[in-house]
Amino acid sequence: MATYSFRLYVAGQTPRSLAAVANLRALCDTYLPGCHEIEVIDAAEQPDLAEEERILAIPIVIRTKPLPSFRVIGDLSDRARAAALLGLPEVGRSSPEGQAQ
């Protein structure tokens, strides 16, 4: 299975930010066990990086690998929808396209 990389932008330790972190971790544990990397970035602490990525809303997760990249705004509480929007494979599938190799 391909390794997936995510960059999650949050704003401090707010309840919404903490929920986004927890929900992304749960998504990855369910859909991509052992095949994911998550980088959490506090936009307040690293505004230059947020500006470089053109972040306009927080929380936002960016799937950086595999390409193409996808962005999802919000706390990812609707996990099934978030998984689909991030292009995650179906549970039990092994390729980024959702088809067994």
Q: Give domain status of residue 101, yes or no.
A: no
Please indicate, yes or no, if residue 60 is contained in any of the structural domains.
yes
Q: Scanning the structure block, which residue is given the tokens 């549970």?
A: 91
Question: pLDDT confidence of 91, banded at 50, 70, 90?
Answer: confident
Residue 96 forms part of a structural domain: no
Assess if residue 93 is contained within a domain.
no
54, part of any domain: yes
Report whether 17 contacts 10 (CB < 8 A): yes
The residue range of the domain holding 27 is 4-85
In a domain, residue 80? The reply is: yes
Please return the burial class of 66, using the count of CB atoms within 10 Å of its CB with bins 0-12, 13-18 and 19+: middle
Q: What CATH number did the domain enclosing 54 receive? A: 3.40.30.10
Q: What is the pLDDT of residues 5-58, one digit of tens each?
A: 999 999 999 999 999 999 999 999 999 999 999 999 999 999 999 999 999 899
| Total domain count, the chain | 1
